[in-house]
């Protein structure tokens, strides 16, 4: 299939390109930009007049609930939601059921994606320890050969710091990226809200910022000891941003991301006990939110993820402390990204770097840019629309979203994945 996209404003942060240009696609690859190749005869032409053409977004933290929790969602529904939301690449953490700690599970996940039609590129993050139990190391070499692009223990603790150190050393020896969400289980203590006056007034079990920052300080020390290339996920605190900033200044091989909802919501948003706003880590103070925004602006935080966690209705129909945490985020990821631009938090080039080329480089994915010879993963974005978020319109099976009724001014109009038009 040969495709000609005409008259669109091409914005490619990998090359700092920003111009009105035609794009020519032959099967899976971009074959030319601006100048039509000799003998090129398009099978389909897409008119992108007054629209943006951007690289397909890369989401480094996304759960599809398959295998293990298909009553909530499955690979088909969630990859469809990703593609229609302009996300062409998603990374799956290892805490499915069964755990992604062996080649058979990796193969199953990719088989499910193939059955779902390969609507987006799906990448697996393998487990650092067997069964995520934190006691015995997984066979990281086998996981790497089976296609895992990184290793993580998700939110599961290690038996002790020595096991974690050995896991990071082993991963480093395999030249594998280690992904850590800093999480001190003892300090979390089954809490559900940011520790402060609001949690006290609402009678909610608190989660101190030290539950993240103490764990992060330990993990950074282990990076210094092992030299393991490490990515810290879903930061939520101002002091975490400071620690990452210092670690980078010290020359440690670290990178970091933040979940999109942490850049907009704060602890005040749980004042009505809306369980759709129950997240782990919790929504924190305005000071923390502003520090996270500064972190994406000054480059301390390298990328933004969705931290997509679709749930069924029953999972959220519980008292706030008992409900399951997480937001169904794929359908609002791109609109919120452009809202950051509208609010002058980041520029267009910065916003796209945070969600395309930066995560692609960190996770070593063949993604994140539009260039001749590269996979034709791209999105045509309408930035002159106006609509309100309505979860009933979500492609995701999960309707548990915290942005119901918010005004948006951008949407993915057309998505191509490896040259294939997603409809």
Q: Which residues are catalytic?
A: 307
Q: Please give the Cα distance from 311 to 326 (Å, whole number).
A: 8
Q: Are 219 and 232 in contact (CB under 8 A)?
A: yes
Length of the chain (residues):
423
d(CA 78, CA 53): 23
Q: Are 320 and 192 in contact (CB under 8 A)?
A: yes
| Residue 87 and residue 307 in contact, taking contact as beta carbons nearer than 8 Å | no
286, 292, 298, 300 alpha-carbon torsion, rounded to 10°: 150
What are the φ and ψ backbone dihedral angles of 32, each rounded to 5 degrees?
A: -165, 155
Phi, then psi, of 5 in degrees rounded to 5: -105, 120
Q: Dihedral sign, CA of 211, 217, 220, 221? A: negative
Asked whether the beta carbons of 302 and 235 are under 8 A apart, the reply is no
Quickly count: other Cβ atoms within 10 Å of residue 407's Cβ: 12
Evaluate whether 73 touches 65 at the Cβ level (below 8 Å): yes
From the number of C-beta atoms within 10 Å of its C-beta (0-12, 13-18, 19+), residue 169 rates as: middle
Rounded Cα distance between 306 and 182, Å, is 17
Per the structure block, which two tokens stand in for 95?
Answer: 């805490």
End-to-end CA separation in angstroms for the chain: 15
Return the closest-CA partner of residue 408 out of 85, 90, 120. 85
Distances in Å between the alpha carbon of 307 and those of 167, 254, 281? Answer: 24, 19, 11
């Amino acid at each position: 299939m040969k495709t000609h996209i005409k008259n669109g404003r091409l914005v490619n942060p990998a090359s700092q390109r920003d111009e009105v240009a035609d794009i020519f696609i032959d099967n899976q690859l971009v074959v030319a930009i601006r100048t039509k190749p000799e003998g090129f005869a398009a099978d389909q032409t897409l008119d992108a007049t007054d629209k943006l053409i951007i690289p397909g977004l890369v989401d480094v933290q996304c759960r599809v609930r398959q295998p293990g929790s298909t009553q909530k969602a499955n690979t088909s529904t969630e990859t469809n939601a990703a593609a229609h939301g302009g996300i062409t690449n998603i990374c799956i953490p290892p805490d499915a059921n069964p755990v992604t700690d062996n080649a058979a599970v990796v193969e199953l996940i990719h088989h499910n994606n193939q059955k779902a039609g390969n609507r987006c590129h799906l990448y697996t993050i393998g487990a650092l320890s067997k069964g995520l139990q934190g006691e015995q190391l997984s066979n990281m070499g086998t996981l790497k050969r089976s296609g895992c692009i990184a290793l993580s223990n998700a939110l599961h603790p290690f038996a002790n710091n020595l096991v974690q150190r050995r896991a990071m050393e082993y991963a480093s020896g395999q030249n594998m990226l280690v992904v850590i969400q800093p999480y001190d289980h003892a300090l979390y203590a089954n809490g559900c809200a940011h520790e402060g006056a609001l949690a006290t007034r609402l009678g909610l079990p608190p989660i101190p910022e030290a539950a993240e920052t103490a764990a992060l300080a330990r993990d950074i020390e282990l990076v210094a000891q092992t030299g393991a290339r490490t990515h810290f996920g879903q930061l939520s605190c101002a002091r975490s941003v400071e620690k990452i900033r210092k670690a980078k200044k010290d020359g440690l091989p670290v990178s970091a991301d933040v979940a999109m909802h942490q850049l907009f919501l704060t602890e005040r948003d749980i004042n009505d006990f809306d369980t759709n706003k129950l997240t782990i880590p919790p929504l924190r103070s305005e000071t923390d939110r502003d520090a996270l925004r500064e972190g994406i602006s000054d480059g301390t935080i390298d990328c933004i993820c969705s931290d997509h966690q679709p749930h069924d209705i029953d999972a959220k129909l519980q008292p706030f402390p008992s409900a399951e945490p997480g937001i169904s985020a794929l359908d609002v990821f791109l609109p919120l990204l452009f809202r950051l631009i509208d609010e002058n938090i980041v520029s267009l080039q910065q916003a796209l770097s945070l969600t395309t080329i930066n995560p692609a480089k960190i996770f070593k994915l063949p993604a994140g840019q539009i260039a001749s010879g590269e996979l034709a993963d791209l999105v045509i974005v309408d930035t002159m629309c106006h609509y309100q978020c309505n979860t009933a319109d979500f492609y995701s099976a999960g309707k548990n979203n915290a942005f119901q009724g918010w005004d948006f001014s951008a949407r993915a109009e057309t998505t191509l994945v490896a040259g294939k038009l997603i409809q």
